[in-house]
A = this chain, B = another copy of it.
Amino acid sequence: MTLHGYFRSSSSYRCRIALNLKGLAYEQVAVHLVKDGGQQKSPAYKALNPQGLVPTLEVDGLVLTQSPAILEWLEETHPEPALLPTGAADRAAVRAFCAVIACEIHPLQNLRVLQYLDTAFGQGAEGKEIWCQRWIGDGLAACEALLAKRPASRYAFGEAPGMAEVYLLPQIFAARRFKVDLSAMPRLSAIAEACEALPAFAEAHPSRQPDAE
């Protein structure tokens, strides 16, 4: 397997965690999102991924894009260890948690949106930081509220990490980067700390990637 990604991209980071949790070996190809005007916009990369976004996972000629689709594919084709629980209602609860991050938080704070806020609306560093803090803060508060309704557990949905943590850890990383106040989110913070002690998460961290800066 070859993962085309960028060390700091949340969606690349999600895939690295999932691949590590499942014990799958993969090579990495770095696609620098800023250098050369954005290497993801190069004709060579767009031939692989027409949307010009990371990540792309290549598996024996199969080209997979969009991290939610890649993660579901990994779960279907490499079911052990499972990242989703078995019952439909429990799976829906985990997927709802993941969707808060994938559909409510991350899209608003990714690089191309921040670049557009700058070029189209003249928002400098301060405006972009307020923007990120608003959406990351609101979304993670919703994640904390979802978990507050559940019995206590080491990880979000039980005693082992799974899909919820695959989405959560990259979002916590971004939250820290944009100086989001996490003090009202003790449960998310405890889950992040528990995950950071596990090799699958530690080795997927942006700072540990070959293209880290």
Interfacial residues, chain A to chain B (CB-CB below 8 A)? 50-51, 53, 62, 64-70, 72-73, 76-77, 88-89, 91-93, 95-96, 98-100, 102-104, 106-108, 113, 116-117, 120-121, 123, 127, 130-131, 134, 142, 145-146, 148-149
Q: A76-B88, A116-B134, A127-B121 are in contact. Are A107 and B96 (CB under 8 A)?
A: no
CB pair B66–A68 under 8 Å, yes or no, is no
Contacting A113 at CB < 8 Å: which of B50, B68, B108, B148?
B108
Whether the Cβ atoms of A91 and B108 lie closer than 8 Å is no
Q: Which of B93, B100, B131 contacts A120 (CB 8 A)?
A: B131
From the candidates B72, B95, B116, B120, name the one contacting A66 in the complex (CB within 8 A).
B95
Tell whether A121 pairs with B123 under 8 Å between CB atoms, given A88-B73, A99-B69: yes
Q: How far is the CA of A76 from the CA of B91 in the complex (A)?
A: 10
